[in-house]
Amino acid sequence: MSPEIIGLIGLGVLALLLLLRMPVGMSLILVSFSGIYILLGPRPAWGILTNVPYQFAAKWTLSSVPMFLLMGYVCYHGGMTRALFAAARSWLGALPGGLAIASVFGAGGFAAVTGSSVACAAAMGRIAVPEMTRAGYDPGLATGSIAAAGTLGALIPPSILLILFGIFAQVPIGQLFLGGIGAGVLTAVAYAVMIYIRVRLDPALAPTREDSASWTERLAHLKGIWPVITLFIVVIGGMFAGLFTATEAGAIGALSACIIAWMTGGLTKATLRQSVNETIVTTAALFLIAIGANLLTRFLALSGSGELITETILAFGASNLTLILGIALVYIILGMFLDPIGAMLLTLPVLLPVVGEAGIPLLWFGVFVAKFLEIGMITPPVGLNVFVIKGVVERSISLGVIFRGVIWFLIADAVVVAIMVAFPQVILWLPSLN
């Protein structure tokens, strides 16, 4: 049996294991090790299994992952979310659908300090959904807006997805962060415009507030978001001003978050312990998947099946647009069933060579991948953010109601993606200035 066939069989077994619900990291490691064992024998296989995990995990760049995670968890448990929503509500609440629009921009602000779609959706859902339901908002609009707004957590920096993509694709993380800002802002604006248009056409969806906030109240609420603004300026501003690298920004951000949370009274022993515990558990899970993806890359290279797949795809002579649409479909399907990081690391060993040979900028592709993985987080029948929202809202709101509300945001996402494909500078413009 040729090495290429062994590689393709390995990919088939990997797909089967995932369908059987085996954890992604363990599936990747088992298939990769077994394939290398068959190709090279026991000693090389054990040698690779011994060396590759250490060589990967010892990369200095990866130290930013637990640090950014710790920053996000400290902000989340330190209670910085409520002030964001209050400020957005005071400025935008009087608009048609103003509370939903405020939720989107509040989630965008929280995304700037958490980097996690699920954490963003859970934090804003606990605060904003009850506010909207009390105001008489349609339950689908109230829950759908938060589920969709949570996806901004993977686009607006710091983003764990973009960090891992940068490490695997060898693209500067700072450049990816800048590209993510363009995509994140475009997404937030598209969501807000969609909400505004829907409510103008059907005012029953969201009763207009009669008690619009005064300028004094608006300015007072802005004072309450100084922790998030300060943290964003310190981390992102310092990184792009050249004061420290993207890797060092994680440690600076974690320390700054702890100091700010302590100053505001949100950092207690229990809060810090919970944040550290969740950081450790999440980091371990991410690294297991990442090590498995690294082993899969080695297995595909040794078998030659990765090169065979690349040549086969390119031999069809499909245009870059067709290739991008095909990749988008793959990520939407995977995003329904796998967590975004697992789906991304599972596919990068196969797709990166294809994208590179097609001449598609990897910087643009990284943000594109993050966007589509997050679309999968709200796509029926298994949208993880939808289930997160279901877990934090009242029982009377069913999954069907939330999914119906999300459909409108998927339409807005289709417009955003079309703009990203038609005008790549939406993503590439900010990085080109740096």
> Which DSSP string corresponds to 153-210?
GGTSSS-HHHHHHHHHHT--HHHHHHHHHHHHHHHHHHHHHHHHHHHHH-GGGSPPPS
Percentage of residues in the chain having pLDDT higher than 70 = 91
Confidence (pLDDT) at 191: 95
Q: Does any domain span residue 232?
A: yes
Give the pLDDT of residue 212. 64
Long-range Cβ pairs for the range 51-54 (8 Å, 24+): 52/291, 52/294, 52/295, 52/298, 53/291, 53/294, 53/295
Would residue 319 count as lying in a domain?
yes
d(C-alpha 185, C-alpha 429), whole Å: 13
pLDDT in tens, 265-275: 888 888 889 98
Dihedrals φ, ψ of 173, to 5°? Answer: -65, -40
Asked if residue 333 is part of any domain, the answer here is: yes
- The yes-or-no verdict on residue 424 having pLDDT over 80 is yes
Of 213 and 30, the structure prediction assigns the larger pLDDT to 30
Tally of domains within the chain: 1
pLDDT higher at 139 or 61: 139
Q: Is the pLDDT of residue 114 over 80?
A: no
How many C-beta atoms surround the C-beta of residue 394 within 10 A? 9
CA gap 156, 172 in Å, rounded = 16
Residue 125 domain-assigned? yes
Higher pLDDT, 182 or 246: 182
Q: How many helices (H) and strands (E) does the chain have?
A: 22, 0
Domain span at 340 = 61-267+304-433
**Residue 403 to residues 5, 151, 300, 360: CA-CA distances in angstroms?**
41, 15, 38, 33
Q: Whole-model pTM?
A: 0.81
Provide the residue type at 177 as one letter: F
Residue 347 lies inside a defined structural domain of this protein: yes
- pLDDT tens, 337-379? 667 777 787 788 888 888 888 888 999 999 999 998 888 888 8
pLDDT at 215: 66
Judge whether 288 lies within some domain: no
State the number of CA atoms in the 13 A half-sphere of 280 facing the CB: 6
Q: What is the mean pLDDT of the chain?
A: 82
Question: Each residue of 306-336: pLDDT tens digit?
Answer: 666 666 666 665 678 888 888 888 887 777 6
- With a cut of 70, say whether residue 147 has pLDDT above it: yes
